[in-house]
């Protein structure tokens, strides 16, 4: 069975998901395999998809039970029957040095442009016991870094058990212990002194805070709080608590009603904010969201022009951040052992998996999963070059 996990967040993701389903159908045809499409896009558009793509054998939204039942059946039925009936060896991914842990799902906020609450519903916490169980399994399988995700991670708490501080402390105390804990998607109004203190004690100095814009008027229309000057204050508090922290953000350009002046405000903010990285996206109207029917929709060509301009500003500022690391010590987690050119590929604590740059370390014998104390020698865009020093197992 070929399983395609889909995304329904924005149009580009929907198109990519449908292309992946079609690719899976092609792959499965003639091999006697079945195709299952699962996840958010299916949750939202199941009937339409099933009508358009009858070649798909199983449509399964956010409830994984039908998929698990079909997989059990495909593998011969019953618990523990995985792999039986396979006709050819399946290549396994090399063990991951980094593992994502979902600590919550859904969102109670209602940002005007966002389809996630329509797909996933209201915020729900994953229980501490479940998070710790998943963490133990990931660490036992070789993960060295745990990356905590959710749409709104800063508000995690389990009544009667504790909040994020407790969760981070318990994760850090597991055996084997994670080398790094990283928390993604911290909403700006959820970052308070208690959270910063918890991050400084237990996590890497990395703050992923989706700001989306800096002009107060645009943020109000987005149904979000804050403005550029409040965000600069927030970043100052972050840097005080976590000196040298990498701050990553995301911005939307071309939101309905965004004027030249609003956009200039955003550009000026980005030039001042000293971010280590940011994703920049053109506004993409999603059906069923309030923003889709707002007046003042910005022409796509202008939105793309603004994205390009903002992207350049982000690149410039980020180059300054990464360049300033030269000569500094870095802890690097090796993800790919030494290549023919004598360089191993990893990430320093200031770089998250999948979205950020890499750290290229010169040093003999470096192995995947190893933690190396290195010194930054240079930077190229978002990548860092470093020389290896002391190693840990």
Give residues in contact with ligand SF4 (CB under 6 A): 107, 109-111, 114, 116-117, 151-152, 187
Task: Tell me the closest approach of the beta carbon of residue 368 to ligand SF4, in angstroms.
Answer: 33
Angle between helices 193-202 and 228-241 (to 10 degrees): 40
Task: Tell me the closest approach of the beta carbon of residue 151 to ligand SF4, in angstroms.
Answer: 4
Task: Tell me the closest approach of the beta carbon of residue 388 to ligand SF4, in angstroms.
Answer: 39
If the CB atoms of residues 188 and 205 are measured against ligand SF4, the closer one turns out to be: 188
If the CB atoms of residues 215 and 348 are measured against ligand SF4, the closer one turns out to be: 215
The span from the CA of 293 to the CA of 316, in Å, is 35
Per the CB < 8 A criterion, the answer to whether 145 and 100 are in contact is: no
Task: Tell me the closest approach of the beta carbon of residue 116 to ligand SF4, in angstroms.
Answer: 4
Distance of CA 144 to the CA centre of its chain: 17
The span from the CA of 96 to the CA of 65, in Å, is 26
If the CB atoms of residues 116 and 325 are measured against ligand SF4, the closer one turns out to be: 116
Task: Tell me the closest approach of the beta carbon of residue 372 to ligand SF4, in angstroms.
Answer: 35
Task: Tell me the closest approach of the beta carbon of residue 212 to ligand SF4, in angstroms.
Answer: 7
If the CB atoms of residues 151 and 359 are measured against ligand SF4, the closer one turns out to be: 151
The span from the CA of 181 to the CA of 202, in Å, is 7
If the CB atoms of residues 110 and 201 are measured against ligand SF4, the closer one turns out to be: 110
3-state secondary structure of 283: coil
171-201 core/surface letters (b: 16 or more CB in 10 A; e: else): beeeeeebbbbbbbbbbbeebeeebbebbee
Per the CB < 8 A criterion, the answer to whether 1 and 36 are in contact is: yes
User: Which tokens go with 76?
Assistant: 């011969």
If the CB atoms of residues 176 and 288 are measured against ligand SF4, the closer one turns out to be: 288
Task: Tell me the closest approach of the beta carbon of residue 110 to ligand SF4, in angstroms.
Answer: 6
User: Which tokens go with 390?
Assistant: 């002391």
If the CB atoms of residues 149 and 319 are measured against ligand SF4, the closer one turns out to be: 149
Please return the burial class of 319, using the count of CB atoms within 10 Å of its CB with bins 0-12, 13-18 and 19+.
middle
């Amino acid at each position: 069975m070929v399983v395609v996990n889909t995304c329904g967040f924005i149009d580009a993701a929907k198109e990519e998901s449908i292309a992946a389903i079609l690719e899976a159908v092609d792959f499965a045809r003639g091999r006697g395999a079945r195709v299952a499409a699962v996840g958010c896009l299916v949750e939202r558009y199941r009937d339409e998809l099933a009508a358009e793509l009858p070649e798909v054998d199983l449509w399964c939204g956010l409830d994984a039970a039908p998929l698990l039942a079909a997989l059990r059946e495909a593998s011969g039925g019953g618990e523990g029957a995985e792999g039986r009936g396979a006709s050819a060896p399946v290549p396994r991914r090399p063990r991951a040095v980094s593992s994502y842990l979902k600590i919550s799902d859904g969102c109670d906020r209602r940002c005007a442009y966002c389809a996630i609450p329509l797909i996933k519903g209201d915020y729900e916490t994953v229980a501490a016991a479940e998070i710790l169980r998943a963490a133990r399994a990931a660490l036992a399988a070789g993960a060295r870094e745990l990356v905590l995700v959710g749409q709104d991670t800063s508000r995690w708490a389990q009544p009667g058990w504790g909040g994020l501080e407790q969760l981070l402390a318990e994760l850090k105390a597991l055996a084997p212990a994670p080398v790094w804990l990283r928390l993604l998607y911290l909403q700006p109004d959820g970052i308070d002194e208690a959270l910063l203190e918890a991050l400084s004690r237990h996590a890497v100095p990395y703050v992923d805070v989706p700001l989306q814009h800096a002009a107060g008027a645009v943020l109000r229309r987005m149904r979000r709080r804050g403005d550029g000057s409040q965000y600069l204050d927030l970043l100052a508090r972050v840097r005080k608590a976590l000196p040298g922290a990498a701050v990553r953000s995301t911005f939307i350009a071309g939101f309905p009603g965004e004027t030249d002046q609003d956009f200039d405000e955003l550009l000026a903010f980005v030039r001042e904010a000293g971010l280590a990285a940011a994703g920049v996206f053109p506004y993409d109207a999603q059906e069923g969201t309030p923003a889709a029917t707002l007046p003042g929709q910005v022409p796509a060509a202008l939105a793309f022009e603004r994205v390009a301009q903002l992207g350049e500003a982000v690149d410039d500022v980020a180059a300054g951040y990464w360049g300033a690391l030269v000569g500094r010590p870095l802890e690097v987690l090796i993800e790919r052992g030494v290549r023919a050119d004598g360089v191993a590929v990893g990430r320093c604590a200031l770089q998250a998996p999948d979205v950020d740059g890499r750290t290229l370390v010169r040093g003999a014998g470096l192995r995947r999963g190893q933690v190396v104390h290195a010194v930054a020698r240079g930077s190229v865009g978002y990548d860092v070059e470093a020389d290896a020093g002391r190693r840990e197992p």
